[in-house]
């Protein structure tokens, strides 16, 4: 059931860094993005996969983690992502990528979750530095970075009350994500 | 397998208009969007569902269909969508919705496909007219319209050659969608 997979597909920010992911496996998740819809079928997105431990260590300091958790600066070494996928816009193909990025990200992460992994989409990225590390040419612009690994944290969904949507961690280190109730997000159903 | 669902989830533009979809079923697909990731967990997207035949007839003339098929003005009456979901930005919550739209759209359509339906995301929408038909308040802005129904066309994936990504229909009315090969969209895999 797609519902089970969607629920399992949480934004995981702590991983078991001892469990590696082969780049061939990640390529199969990119394949899911390849087979997904694209505005005007332009397919202007490209992907860079990094499973290299040293390079991952260079990428990590350029990422911002979990803005609402003010006392947490991101995962410790043994909980860091073991791979990254950079979602890139090929500006030589198009300037506009419509909602291709979200479609691709959802496909990739559902694939990862089905295979027992998980990830987090990060927008807070020092793009010029990560572009240098990944040796990206000028025409490939970083849109998002997906951090990947074997999840090592529990994430639960709650119902948002009075519009308070900030995620938080309880005393047992469980990560809570308040979601607006269905009746609040469906404006009209006829 | 998510791969089977992703492949089955094509952009369908011709439907069997005699097969209706209940709004309660569509609400369950919106539930999948509700349970999906949102940038900063802000969840600024709202949804309007329309399964009303008369209203659907008013919405239809405000949509552009399949830009590359120059000789086709959209589905005939008996092949028209039986429902629409408008993806809305609640501007009273946020101006920025990151890639939430694509994530939500992919979740909704994967749900529809799993249930034996399908759809097409339309960006070519006369938004002010559709907003009037749906009686949307000022703060809800239409981002996309998803047309839904029981698919009544065959859509196949081909491999794009020399960057030619325009979809086309063959003499048997089969819709062909050329996708760039995996080795072309993965810039680097380390």
User: Mean pLDDT by 10-residue block, N- to C-terminus, for chain B (190 residues)?
Assistant: 97 98 98 98 98 98 92 94 98 97 98 98 97 98 98 97 95 97 97
| DSSP tag of A39 | G
Smallest Cβ–Cβ distance between A107 and the set B6, B67, B190 belongs to B6
The total number of residues written for chain B in this structure: 190
Q: Are B132 and B107 in the same domain?
A: yes
Which contacts qualify for A3-6: CB closer than 8 Å, 24 or more apart? A3/B31, A3/B32, A3/B35, A3/B111, A5/A110, A5/A113, A5/A114, A5/B2, A6/A110, A6/B32, A6/B35, A6/B36, A6/B107
**Residue A67, pLDDT score:** 85
DSSP-assigned beta bridge partners for residue B49: A189, B85
Residues 170-189 of chain A whose Cβ lies under 8 A from any Cβ of chain B: 177-180, 182, 185-189
Look at residue B106 and give its three-state secondary structure.
Answer: helix
* A5, A25, A180: best to mutate for the B interface, most B CBs within 10 A: A180
Output the DSSP codes for B51-71: --HHHHHHHGGGB---TT-TT
Cα–chain center distance at A111: 12
Query: For the segment B27-50, what is each residue's pLDDT rounded down to a tens digit?
Result: 999 999 999 999 999 999 999 999
- Per the structure, how many domains does chain B have? 2
Q: Do B111 and B49 belong together in one domain?
A: yes
Mutate to test the interface with A, among B107, B111, B116, B142 (most CBs of A within 10 A): B107
Q: Among B66, B161, B60, B144, which Cα is nearest to B108's? A: B144
- Domain interval for residue A184: 154-190
CB contact under 8 A, B68 and A110: no
Give the number of residues written for chain A.
190
Residues B118 and B163 in one domain: no
Contact A34 B188 (CB under 8 A): no
Which mean pLDDT values do the consecutive 10-residue runs of chain A (190 residues) have? 97 98 98 98 98 98 92 94 98 97 98 98 97 98 98 97 95 97 97
Neighbours of B142 (CB within 10 A): 19
ipTM above 0.85, yes or no: yes
Find the CATH number of the domain harbouring A188: 2.20.180.10
Q: Edge to edge, what strands does the sheet with A168-169 contain?
A: A155-159, A175-179, A168-169
Q: Are residues B116 and B170 in the same domain?
A: no
User: Do B135 and B169 have their domain in common?
Assistant: no
Q: What is the CATH number of the domain that holds A11?
A: 3.40.109.10
């Amino acid at each position: 059931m797609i519902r089970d997979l969607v629920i399992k597909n949480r934004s995981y920010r702590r991983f078991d860094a001892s469990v590696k992911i082969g780049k061939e496996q990640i390529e199969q998740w990119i394949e899911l993005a390849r087979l997904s819809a694209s505005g005007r079928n332009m397919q202007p997105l490209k992907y860079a996969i990094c499973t290299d431990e040293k390079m991952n260590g260079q990428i990590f300091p350029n990422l911002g983690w979990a803005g609402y958790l003010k006392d947490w600066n991101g995962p410790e070494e043994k909980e860091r992502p073991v791979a990254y996928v950079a979602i890139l816009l090929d500006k030589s193909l198009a300037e506009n990528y419509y909602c291709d990025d979200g479609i691709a990200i959802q496909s990739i992460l559902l694939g990862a979750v089905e295979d027992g992994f998980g990830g987090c989409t990060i927008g807070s990225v020092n793009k010029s530095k990560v572009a240098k590390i990944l040796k990206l040419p000028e025409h490939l612009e970083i849109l998002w970075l997906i951090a990947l690994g074997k999840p090592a944290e529990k994430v639960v969904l709650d119902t948002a009350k009075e519009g308070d949507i900030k995620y938080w961690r309880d005393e047992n280190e469980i990560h809570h994500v308040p979601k607006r109730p269905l009746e609040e997000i469906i404006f009209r159903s006829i």
